[in-house]
Structure 1
Amino acid sequence: MVSDKLIFYQNVLGSRRLSNFFWALVTMIGGVGFLLAGLSSYLNINLLIVSDISSLQFIPQGIALMFYGITGSLLSLYQWFMIFLNIGSGYNEFNKETNVATIFRWGFPGKNRRIEFICPLEDVKAIRAEIRDGINTKRKLYLKVKNKRDIPLTRIGQPISLSDLENQAAELASFLSVPLEGI
């Protein structure tokens, strides 16, 4: 089956997933709660509305609560920072007009924030699907390129369904007229 399209474009979801928002919020609430409980035991003032912590002693419980509160708050800040920058988002573009495959992702701030891989379409050998079920489920698509490592095409995180993976792999392999491996 030959496609009439000249450009195949896929958006890749990064850190702005619902699960990341949920865990950042839970971590923030827990970290701030522990921090307020530890400060309450130090100041002998109840800073928490929902509980009575008058029986907590600063040493050792208050110090431990403050440590966990600071750690949880810093972890939450890191998670919100990742969500704000949308780390891992990007796109896959395969353009028959310019004969170029472009894989783009946003990374961490710095000189390598823009992660971009560009190669001619002639160098693409195949589309490889990696499917591994079990405790550590893995369902990913890779672009096999001559003289280079396999380039991941799917997002990181929750594995996509088998039918979606097969459809994406077949559609891309058909568009590029390359073999499909692993299915």
Structure 2
Amino acid sequence: MTAQTTASETGVLRQLVIGSRRFSNYWWAVIVSTGSLGFLLAGISSYLHVNLLPFSDPTKLVFIPQGVAMGFYGLAGTLFSLYLWLTIVWDVGGGYNEFDKGKGKVTIFRWGFPGKNRKIELVCKIDDVQAVKVDLREGLNPKRTLSLRVKSKRDVPLTRVGQPMSLSQLENEGAELARFLTVPLEGL
């Protein structure tokens, strides 16, 4: 969930949440960019009859249909890699959870896609927090999340989307947060 958790003497607990700037996203963006560039250059090479790839000779491909197909896959991959790189640059899903006992408020902040809803910020009173909820679901698509149970609202998720946290990390962070807010820990 967090890259860093800080609790100060003033009664403020701040948890940084990693968004799309994870190693796996960088990895896939590089892989898709490289592959799509290769397909695009192969399609262009078959059209121009000029070898643009150092490791292959796509000039021997017939432009219709092989060159067109390679160009199409290259263009589609390039658009997808552009999307991946932009989500990394915009840090979609990144933000923080802040629990301030001095001000008596909880702030959940996340970055979204550009537009009028780019900044997603939920603020509620600490007194409205009923519990810290742990949601565990094992199997083919495991789910391990922490959320706040807030009066008269839906559960507010606190963990990042993507790779599930380890069970021990989830328990430790849930217990630490429940202890800090002096509310029960549900779901274990």
Q: How far, CA to CA, are the matches of 2:93 and 2:135 in structure 1? A: 20
User: Is structure 2 residue 183 aligned with structure 1 residue 178?
Assistant: yes
User: Contact 2:10–2:102 at 8 Å: present in 1 too?
Assistant: no
Task: Report the TM-score, using the length of structure 1 for normalisation.
Answer: 0.96
Matches within 5 A, 1:9-158: 9-158=14-163
Q: Which has the higher contact order (CA 8 A, sep 6+)?
A: 1
Q: Please give the secondary structure, in 2, of the residue aligned with 1:111.
A: coil
Give the counterpart of 2:164 among 159, 162, 183.
Answer: 159
When residues 15 and 136 of structure 1 are mapped into structure 2, their CA distance, relative to the original with a 3 A threshold, is same
Whole-Å Cα distance in 2 between the matches of residues 121 and 45 of structure 1? 66
Q: 4+ residue runs of structure 1 moved beyond 3 angstroms?
A: none
Give the secondary-structure state (helix, strand or coil) at the position aligned to 1:54: helix
Range that drifts further, 165-174 or 44-53: 44-53
SS of residue paired to 2:153? coil
Distance across 2 between alignment mates of 1:44 and 1:9: 59
- The normalised TM-score by structure 2 is 0.93
Give the CA deviation at 1:54: 3.1
Residues 58-95 of structure 1, C-alpha deviation per residue, up to 9 Å, x if partnerless? 11111111110000001101111110111111000111
1:57 Cα shift?
Answer: 0.6
Q: More deviation in 34-43 or 4-13?
A: 4-13
**RMSD, aligned α-carbons:** 1.2
Q: Which amino acid aligns with 1:49?
A: P
Secondary structure of residue in 2 paired with 1:94: strand
